[in-house]
Chains A and B, each alone.
Chain A
């Protein structure tokens, strides 16, 4: 009996969380998928009417803006955070004296909530309060930096704030990666008289591929769930020019009583996530089987 219990114990311990995930993740995905095929308005209804909600979604200019913004924000946020994080890590890796202090300073933004980041940058980027007003105050009357209030540029301010918050964290990841590279190889290269930049580009960085993957996964999920940052920084504005799919879904579900439409947008968001995660899972699983 005890032996049987011992063998079954892992399954018994895991069962509640397995069950919870089954219901609260997969169960509700199915539920959302169902609702997205109905004409639900204020309250969910369950009579399937076909793909009308998706038809509405794909002709909505606001949804186009939201998807375009997700692409712009996601790509720039991930690429710039990684490049900046890598650069900072390499600079910090030069055995400088106050490394501990500097590392902490760069890492601190990650400890802030996105709401705080968004609000602070809202003030910094506001033309009448922040950078523009300051530089004008120094006497450069023609200076203009008003991306925050320009509908075409506002999404880039979200990128700025996001990068500010995340790049320190990426730096810490990369720094750990740099430190884990075998000292012997680097010393051998130095003895051979290879210049430092070549050591980094040909030896150290290629050996950090797993770190790049981790950083990418962390940043990608930050990008897709970036909802609070937009709400605090621009409120989706000017107009709806900085809407993201998540803010679109929120508006439909909670402000407009259009649950069917919100469910359809949530399903499309999930497919976007799948498009990123499935190749990753596939490569992981294949690597294990090999």
Chain B
């Protein structure tokens, strides 16, 4: 008699114990935020997750701007053991969705009303065929132009608002013996300048048709020829040593007054701030000439996992990522702005305020556009094909007409 009671008791106890284990949310998070400010940013999320009773298994894979992490992800998914959440962005989210490995986090998203908190085009990236499958952490703006305030003042230049003004300012700087444009000759940096020029010269509709819809008539249009013409001018404004230079060294050139301008996403701001420079006084930030806003949104995609503890972890993670506190602290560390539009910007600097105001305005005006150079607009094969042509043109004496012809052929070949 006693024995059966003992068994019953132990069976009940073991249920209780395992029940307790299920209660703790768990998440294994694959990301490549391993350097300075980025690591600090992700630690914020880790801390919040732990404070809410979760167990965070960190899986940082450094290297190759995420290439190494993607290779790790591929191996994990193929072996049927996907991480809970993965740092993914842009069309890559939908690409993984099509492989049938993403989870549905609509319950959290609808409870928190994400649709009302995110700009529509950014929300679109987080959805896979009508369900929510990823959570955004930030909005980087790509089409920034940074300048050294004292260099501009010494040469009587104001921040350019058209590309003609930019060219005039650059010619003036060149005449004064200062490198007009600090630039690093790496393919992605060439592409970053290219898309800023394309948006400025062609406008938002042109950009969307060319780099989101890959419309052939737009890709071969005269406007595109004009964009490549301006790129040829830009090539004349960089110094002779630009090949292979890292972006932060180019930023340092602006900081030291060796160069006047740099066109780079808002992570460049982090370099200025880390060197103790004050926005608006030591360095100036402004959107590149022309209307529109090119965004690069980092996000976490949730992968389909088994087990209540992991799914609870996923829900908690999604909730925290979209939480006001995390969106604020994370973006203060990273130099970007919150993806949520209702976060207070009191502690942010002037550049972030500009970015946020422009994002709201361009969202209204339909010119809030995904960056092609940073993998937000197109899939890897297509954006890579465009970048090949852009960088080949920038680094040779190819004519604009040839570049346009190659562009159309390369896009067709990448399908």
Could you tell me which A residues sit within 8 Å of B by CB distance? 41-43, 56, 59-62, 122, 126-129, 146, 148-149, 151-152, 154, 234-241, 251, 254-258, 261
Residues in A with CB closer than 8 Å to B413 are: 56, 59-60
How many interface residues does B have (CB within 8 Å)? 37
| A148 and B96 within 8 A (CB) | no
| B388 and A238 within 8 A (CB) | no
Within 8 A of A (CB), among B385-404: 388, 391-396
Kindly state whether residue B64 has any CB partner on chain A within 8 Å.
yes
- Given known pairs A42-B74, A239-B392, A256-B384, the reply for A59 and B243 (CB within 8 Å) is no
Could you write out 10 A-B pairs with CB less than 8 Å apart? A42-B92, A62-B388, A62-B392, A234-B243, A239-B394, A240-B392, A241-B396, A255-B384, A257-B70, A257-B381
| B240 and A237 within 8 A (CB) | no
| B186 and A235 within 8 A (CB) | yes
Instruction: Give per-residue flags for B181-206: 1 if the beta carbon is below 8 A from chain A beta carbons, else 0.
Output: 00001110010000000000000000
| B243 and A255 within 8 A (CB) | no
Residues in B with CB closer than 8 Å to A254 are: 64, 67, 70-71
- Given known pairs A61-B392, A149-B243, A237-B186, the reply for A255 and B379 (CB within 8 Å) is no
Give the CA-CA distance A206 to B185 in the complex, in Å. Answer: 48
Give the CA-CA distance A234 to B242 in the complex, in Å. Answer: 12
| B185 and A149 within 8 A (CB) | yes
**Which one of A41, A152, A234, A240 contacts B381 once the chains associate, using CB atoms below 8 Å?**
A41
| A241 and B395 within 8 A (CB) | yes
Kindly state whether residue B406 has any CB partner on chain A within 8 Å.
yes
| B243 and A256 within 8 A (CB) | no
- Given known pairs A43-B74, A61-B406, A239-B187, the reply for A255 and B392 (CB within 8 Å) is no
Give the CA-CA distance A107 to B239 in the complex, in Å. Answer: 37
Interchain nearest-CB distance for A160 vs B (Å):
16
| B244 and A237 within 8 A (CB) | yes
Interchain nearest-CB distance for B63 vs A (Å):
10
Within 8 A of A (CB), among B28-87: 64, 67, 70-71, 74, 77-78
- Given known pairs A239-B187, A240-B388, the reply for A255 and B381 (CB within 8 Å) is no
| A235 and B381 within 8 A (CB) | no
| B243 and A238 within 8 A (CB) | yes
Which of A42, A251, A254 counts the most B-chain CB atoms under 10 A from its CB? A42
Residues in B with CB closer than 8 Å to A129 are: 241
Give the CA-CA distance A127 to B243 in the complex, in Å. Answer: 10
- Given known pairs A59-B413, A237-B243, the reply for A41 and B187 (CB within 8 Å) is no
| B67 and A237 within 8 A (CB) | no
| A256 and B77 within 8 A (CB) | no
Which of A60, A62, A128, A255 counts the most B-chain CB atoms under 10 A from its CB? A255
**Which one of A127, A240, A255 contacts B240 once the chains associate, using CB atoms below 8 Å?**
A127
CB closest residue in chain B, given A254: B67
| A257 and B388 within 8 A (CB) | no
Give the CA-CA distance A287 to B395 in the complex, in Å. Answer: 50
Interchain nearest-CB distance for A23 vs B (Å):
17
Residues in B with CB closer than 8 Å to A241 are: 392, 395-396
Interchain nearest-CB distance for A83 vs B (Å):
29
Residues in A with CB closer than 8 Å to B242 are: 149
| A149 and B384 within 8 A (CB) | no
- Given known pairs A42-B95, A258-B381, the reply for A237 and B185 (CB within 8 Å) is yes
Interchain nearest-CB distance for A101 vs B (Å):
36
Within 8 A of A (CB), among B334-393: 379-381, 384, 388, 391-393
| A257 and B185 within 8 A (CB) | no
Residues in A with CB closer than 8 Å to B380 are: 255-258
| A127 and B241 within 8 A (CB) | yes
Interchain nearest-CB distance for A51 vs B (Å):
14
Residues in B with CB closer than 8 Å to A251 are: 384
| B95 and A151 within 8 A (CB) | no
Residues in A with CB closer than 8 Å to B281 are: none
Interchain nearest-CB distance for A243 vs B (Å):
9
Give the CA-CA distance A240 to B406 in the complex, in Å. Answer: 14
**Which one of A238, A257, A261 contacts B395 once the chains associate, using CB atoms below 8 Å?**
A238
Interchain nearest-CB distance for A75 vs B (Å):
23
Interchain nearest-CB distance for B56 vs A (Å):
27
Residues in B with CB closer than 8 Å to A256 are: 380-381, 384
Kindly state whether residue B409 has any CB partner on chain A within 8 Å.
yes
| A149 and B187 within 8 A (CB) | no
Residues in A with CB closer than 8 Å to B381 are: 41, 256-258, 261
CB closest residue in chain B, given A241: B395
Give the CA-CA distance A129 to B241 in the complex, in Å. Answer: 9
| B99 and A43 within 8 A (CB) | yes
Residues in A with CB closer than 8 Å to B240 are: 127-128, 146, 149
Interchain nearest-CB distance for B365 vs A (Å):
32
Residues in A with CB closer than 8 Å to B391 are: 237-240
Give the CA-CA distance A268 to B356 in the complex, in Å. Answer: 49
> Top 4 nearest A-B pairs by Cβ distance?
A239-B395, A256-B380, A238-B395, A128-B241
Residues in A with CB closer than 8 Å to B409 are: 59
Residues in B with CB closer than 8 Å to A261 are: 381
CB closest residue in chain B, given A57: B413
Interchain nearest-CB distance for A150 vs B (Å):
9
**Which one of B95, B239, B393 contacts A257 once the chains associate, using CB atoms below 8 Å?**
B95
CB closest residue in chain A, given B190: A239
Give the CA-CA distance A127 to B244 in the complex, in Å. Answer: 12
Give the CA-CA distance A122 to B4 in the complex, in Å. Answer: 78
| Given A41-B95, A148-B244, 6 additional A-B pairs, CB 8 A | A56-B414, A148-B243, A238-B185, A255-B64, A255-B380, A255-B384
Residues in A with CB closer than 8 Å to B396 are: 151-152, 239, 241
Give the CA-CA distance A232 to B222 in the complex, in Å. Answer: 38
Interchain nearest-CB distance for A257 vs B (Å):
4
**Which one of B64, B77, B244 contacts A43 once the chains associate, using CB atoms below 8 Å?**
B77
Give the CA-CA distance A285 to B79 in the complex, in Å. Answer: 42
Residues in A with CB closer than 8 Å to B92 are: 42, 257
Interchain nearest-CB distance for B345 vs A (Å):
35
| B187 and A237 within 8 A (CB) | yes
Residues in A with CB closer than 8 Å to B392 are: 61-62, 239-241
**Which one of A59, A61, A237, A257 contacts B379 once the chains associate, using CB atoms below 8 Å?**
A257
